[in-house]
Structure 1
Amino acid sequence: MTETRNRSARALAVLAGGVAAALALAGCSGAGSAKPSDPSYQLTANTPKPSGDIDSVKWAVYAEPTSLDYAYAFDYPDNQVLSNVCESLLRLNPDWTLSPGLATSFSHPNPTTWVYEIRQGVTFHDGTPLTAADVVASMNRHLDPNVGSSWADVYKYVTSVAQTGPNEVTVTESQPDSQFNLSMGGDAGVVDSAAYIAKAGKNYGNSTGLVDCTGPYSVKQWQSGESITLERYDNYWDKSLQAKNKTFSFVFLQDSTARVNALKSGAVDGSWMIPAEAISQLQSSSAGSMYFGLNTAVNDLVISDLQGPLGDLRVRKALLMAIDRQGMLQAAGKGIGSISNALTTQSVWSEASAATTKAAFTGLNPYPHDVAAAKKLVKEAGAEGKQVVIATAPMGNDFNIISQGTAAALTEIGMKPKIVTVTPSQFSALFSDPSARKGIDLFYTSWYLSSPDPLEMYAVLQTGQFSNYGNWSDPEFDKVVQEAIATQDPDQRALLSGKAQKIANEQLPWLPLYDGPMSVFLGKKITGVAPSVAFLYYPWAATIGKR
């Protein structure tokens, strides 16, 4: 693995649909605002409680994890395994709130200091006790340029992490950063054994070195290309989350048809992120139950080159208006979701007042589907006949639908689309390696947030930030976001985030398409999981038991 780590977690949600439907988008035109879909689904906070424990569970995952090293876990497959094995200072819950984790409490004695009290009576899977020194060592890896952590941005203002008491760790920053503590419920706050990390060396987190954490499961075996098997850790400290199954196996099924067939036949017991075209099949199947829950992801088109024709705001507006987003949602997501004019979901505004949240989503430009108006904008910009390169990859039918639908829209407004299909690994590199984006104008992402604050999204788009892939820059936006970062009061910070959201809606550094719920299928033998995107950080597998 190179020093430019895989930062594509938020890009790989596989929602699959029909390619033929995407081709039909080429014929769509006309004016009017996109309207939310009316899908036949309901959001569920929890599934029925288990009737008892179960010996084993077999779970399908759409790809093999790249790494179980928390510094590099930045993808759906990585984190849905790691969340059950390793724990963070804080716990990000299924309702997207934070509560104590390996830190029993924290304090904020001054604007640039965070102090964490480390929980006692916790042991790693090898039986050794958790100490403040393990916390310091684990956090300092994010500051080490030789590690090249995918979560280094969380630590961008951190000047030191030090043990300041027997069970106390103090983080000092160069300037106030409201986002740091909010990120301690994710991988940026994970703690592993300092001794084990040193012992495993370069093999730490891979199929040979594995990990040694404090979660409800330990990693029993990683068979490359096949599966990862977890084993219940009987000495887990949190008895309320003691695993209700003895072993939990993740089976890697990259082919979506094979994955769905395994669910229907009962060969596997469950899976997250069900391909959209299979949802109706599974809903009518006797093999189990479909559920939908909280999500924080918006499906977007990332503008990765503002030096080309998309550098003109009129062209970006024209493209968004030319895309039949409602048709795209129907084709790619089978109508399960709603058109989005923002880069965040309302679910991440939970700490804001209802009035502040409403204001943040009120008055956004809806960019109605209007090809005639879009053509006019392209002509005004002098962009007729100019080429736009779209990167895609064979990772799900939604990638085909969105790339082809975008190409059809570009053709309709007098521009020349070019679709470049790359391998999944090359597509992942778009999110980590600037050279991989050379010659690419835009690409698709399903970008989820990892903390209960919309500012996480807009901080990404500040001038010079790693994930600001098109190098977009707006002084007013930067000023608002920087002020928000330094604001501790959640509602006041949300007011500023609302301003940033409106600027992003006006300037379109990324093009928002639609959002939708998190999906999960539970076979008829199991129940207990909360259908929430928090499966990326919360020990969800431990909640699953006998139906």
Structure 2
Amino acid sequence: MPRHRTRHRLVLATAAVLATGLALAACSPAGSGASSSGAHPAYRLTAQTPAPSGDIDSFTWVSYAEPYSLDYAYAFDYSDNQVLSNVCESMLRLNPDYTISAGLAESYSNPTPTTWVYEMRPGVTFHDGTPMTAADAVASMRRHLDPAVGSSWFSVYQNVASIDQTGPMEVTVTLTKPDSQFNLGISGAAGVVESAATLAAKGKNYGNSTGLVNCTGPFELTSWKSGESVTLTRYDKYWDTKLKAKAGKVTILFMTDPNARVNALTSGQVDGGWMVPTEAIQKLNSTSAGKLYFGLNTAVGSLIVGNLKGALGDLNVRKALLMAMDRQGIVDAAVKGYGSVTSALTTESVWGEASDATRKAAFSGLDSYTYDVAAAKKLVEKAGATGKTITIRTAPMGADFSVVAQATAAAAESIGLKAKIQTMTPDSYTTLFSDPTARQGVDLFYTSWYLSTPDPLEMYGVLRTGQFSNYGNWSDPQFDALVDQAVAIADPKARAEKSVELQKIANQQLPWLPLFQGPMTVFVGKKITGVAPSVAFLYYPWAATLGAR
């Protein structure tokens, strides 16, 4: 059967993002629905760490998990993409400030509403020394359309009719209808270009620890020791001189135990790591082993409503549950106050192409679901849901998972519902996002859902009727019609105006329950510097910019 993975975003340090003023000091606000009081930690968002003094022979990094796959068709999570982003490159490039620029396609055009034309960059070679051609791009992109592959990125290609080579270095993509999201989507793993010869030669072993990959990035994947580490080696013939790797070698170690990761960072065993455990932020802020940075993120910690046939099928019950949750208390306990309560499923960071007025409208006037247990209990009674049971799935993957599960169960019990928590293994938890049968009887499960493009429509496209990641099968004809209209709009400012309407419908209907957002974190050891602390590390070659302090 084809494999399908989805944006489960399992790990966690902090869930999401602040907004656009990267260099400003910011204290996490109490946010709507706050009932807790007291000071919250102050932190400063950093766009770029100090420039390195020069090259370095090597450095080590730590990841919370081993990649599921380095086949770009399946690289759909933090552990996969933080490696792949340094080795493979896409047609377009997602930058740390969440803008998009030319990548392996040196230019592109949209000559008709249903046609995208890409001129591939000459002089680029794969890590085996062979030249990249338009034929490689066509073969790489067509894999996402192949049911036998079962690409996790098929949604980017859902409106693609054909992908053809139309010139020596030209690729033309023809759509079945106008789709503004396609060109944005290929700035991530969906747009990776791999050697067609390598894809054919490796077959089912492509992207695993045996077959590895053969791409065009600043580093070559030279080894993958299963269960232990991957090693990246600088590719000296890399085409982009501005991003030529400053380190000769990078070793990324896999450590699933959060305490082990923190100890490795503070002892100097490793030189850095993304998404540090939030319970260790104070310790990492005070160690002499390096420095902790906070940066741009696009994720929101939310509860996905996976069953609309049970008690949560009634909107009043969904509203009541959110009103009964002390979300500021959750922020304080789950991420140690390094975040803020939100009532939206997007962060301001993905509204960068909207006008100031549109961005303001997107976040103003939203229902805040203020913490009010008495009022929430009345809504449950009105719905006739008193005494009904909701089932919450969780897994031992971080403080936020356990805190959110326990807080949700307590909130449900406080308003007359019954709650049952079912704990799964981390590997089993991933099936909630990929296998509909795994969600049977599951009312709620937690996610930290990040967006891969600078467009809020990416989030709301997920909730359209019939979409694979619309896990609860929520359906609203008005919402669907607005998504279809927005997808067809080429102008990002006009498209964002439609997304304002979509954000307000989602806020009113609560197909997912938004909880909180917070910054991306990265710890950089004392011998290296130069990284941009941004969630774009999932698609941007972050390791190439790190050099000697």
TM-score category of the 2 structures, normalised to the smaller one: over 0.9
Aligned match of 1:84 in 80, 83, 86? 86
Q: Is the 8 A contact 1:14 1:395 kept in 2?
A: no
One-letter code aligned to 1:455: L
Q: Tell me which residue corresponds to 1:459.
A: 461
Q: Deviations over 1:355-409 (max 9, x none)?
A: 1100111100010000000000001011111110000011112111110110110
CA distance in 2, matches of 1:302, 1:127: 46
CA distance in 2, matches of 1:14, 1:358: 28
One-letter code aligned to 1:254: T
Aligned match of 1:57 in 35, 56, 59? 59
Q: Tell me which residue corresponds to 2:499.
A: 497
Q: Tell me which residue corresponds to 2:21.
A: none
Aligned match of 1:253 in 248, 252, 255? 255
One-letter code aligned to 1:122: V
CA distance in 1, matches of 2:351, 2:526: 35
Q: Is the 8 A contact 1:217 1:231 kept in 2?
A: yes
Aligned match of 2:429 in 421, 427, 430? 427
Q: Is the 8 A contact 1:216 1:232 kept in 2?
A: yes
Q: CA deviation at 1:518?
A: 0.3
The 3-state SS of whatever aligns with 1:87 is coil
CA distance in 2, matches of 1:340, 1:33: 9
CA distance in 1, matches of 2:167, 2:213: 27
Q: Deviations over 1:207-227 (max 9, x none)?
A: 000000000000111000000
The 3-state SS of whatever aligns with 1:135 is helix
Equivalent pairs counted in the alignment come to: 532
Q: Is the 8 A contact 1:90 1:185 kept in 2?
A: yes
Aligned match of 1:95 in 72, 94, 97? 97
One-letter code aligned to 1:6: R
Q: Tell me which residue corresponds to 2:11.
A: 12
Aligned positions of 1:85-484 closer than 5 A? 85-484=87-486
Q: CA RMSD in A?
A: 1.3
CA distance in 1, matches of 2:472, 2:394: 17
Q: CA deviation at 1:15?
A: 4.2
One-letter code aligned to 1:33: G
Q: CA deviation at 1:487?
A: 0.5
Q: Is the 8 A contact 1:93 1:99 kept in 2?
A: yes
One-letter code aligned to 2:397: M
Q: CA deviation at 1:38?
A: 4.1
Q: Deviations over 1:494-544 (max 9, x none)?
A: 000000000000000000000001000001111000000000000000000
CA distance in 2, matches of 1:32, 1:304: 25
Q: Tell me which residue corresponds to 1:42.
A: 44
CA distance in 1, matches of 2:328, 2:348: 19
Q: Is the 8 A contact 1:15 1:397 kept in 2?
A: no
CA distance in 1, matches of 2:211, 2:121: 26
CA distance in 2, matches of 1:491, 1:10: 28
The 3-state SS of whatever aligns with 2:223 is strand
CA distance in 2, matches of 1:8, 1:449: 9
Q: CA deviation at 1:448?
A: 0.2
CA distance in 2, matches of 1:33, 1:85: 43
Q: Tell me which residue corresponds to 2:33.
A: 33
Aligned match of 2:70 in 68, 71, 87? 68
Q: CA deviation at 1:424?
A: 1.0
Q: Residues 33 and 422 of structure 1: is their aligned pair in 2 closer, same or farther, counting only changes over 3 Å?
A: closer
The 3-state SS of whatever aligns with 2:140 is helix
CA distance in 2, matches of 1:35, 1:217: 48
CA distance in 2, matches of 1:402, 1:351: 33
The 3-state SS of whatever aligns with 1:535 is helix
CA distance in 2, matches of 1:40, 1:269: 25
Scaled by the length of structure 2, the TM-score of the pair is: 0.96
The 3-state SS of whatever aligns with 1:192 is coil
One-letter code aligned to 1:253: M
The 3-state SS of whatever aligns with 1:10 is coil
Q: CA deviation at 1:52?
A: 1.0
CA distance in 2, matches of 1:267, 1:5: 36
One-letter code aligned to 1:305: N
One-letter code aligned to 1:4: R
Q: Is the 8 A contact 1:4 1:433 kept in 2?
A: no
CA distance in 2, matches of 1:135, 1:240: 23
CA distance in 2, matches of 1:104, 1:407: 52
CA distance in 1, matches of 2:371, 2:209: 48
The 3-state SS of whatever aligns with 1:59 is strand
CA distance in 2, matches of 1:291, 1:387: 42
Q: Deviations over 1:474-497 (max 9, x none)?
A: 011111111000001111100000
One-letter code aligned to 1:13: L
Q: CA deviation at 1:423?
A: 1.1
Q: Is the 8 A contact 2:32 2:343 kept in 1?
A: no
- Unpaired stretches in structure 2, ≥5 consecutive residues: 16-30
One-letter code aligned to 1:5: H
Q: CA deviation at 1:35?
A: 8.0
Q: CA deviation at 1:64?
A: 0.2
